[in-house]
Amino acid sequence: MDKKTLTTHGVFSWCELLTTDVTAARRFYGELLGWTLSDMDDSSMPYTIIKNGENDIGGMMEITDEMPNMKPMWGPYVTVDDVDKRVDVAKKLGAKVLVEAQDVPNVGRFAMIMDPQGAPVSLITYAENLT
């Protein structure tokens, strides 16, 4: 991911698959799209990084017990200037907060909201060490 994607407010910057079977998903998407898939070394939980050529474009992770009733899904991330500020604005505009703003070590701060029509999206402000 380039610096502009990590710092430009309002751009889609990452896409993440939540799935019940990462091994099967890695095989499927690797063969289908030619992605390179590798384990993230410094994660506190198992996480797969997706590369298209040399570019990190997304990730995959297992649905956990902490995600009750979650079905497999792709989720986009949008870079924002300040996650907490944007969550407040989203709530005023009628959004529902699905995941409260929280820090992800060595990545940044994110939250997941559902827009007034019911579409989920994650907002993220990347850590300074990445930008």
Note the pLDDT tens digit of each residue in 61-100: 999 888 888 899 999 999 999 999 999 999 999 999 999 9
Question: What pLDDT, on a 0 to 100 scale, did the predictor assign at position 40?
Answer: 87
23 vs 28: CA distance, rounded Å: 9
- CA distances, 75 to each of 7, 18, 23, 92, 111 (Å): 19, 8, 19, 23, 12
pTM of the model: 0.88
Note the pLDDT tens digit of each residue in 9-22: 999 999 999 999 99
Note the pLDDT tens digit of each residue in 19-63: 999 999 999 999 999 999 999 877 678 999 999 999 999 999 999
34 vs 6: CA distance, rounded Å: 24
Domain 3-126 homologous superfamily, CATH: 2,3-Dihydroxybiphenyl 1,2-Dioxygenase, domain 1 (3.10.180.10)
Q: Where are the domains of the chain?
A: 3-126
Task: Please report, in angstroms and rounded to a whole number, the separation of the first and last CA atoms in the chain.
Answer: 10
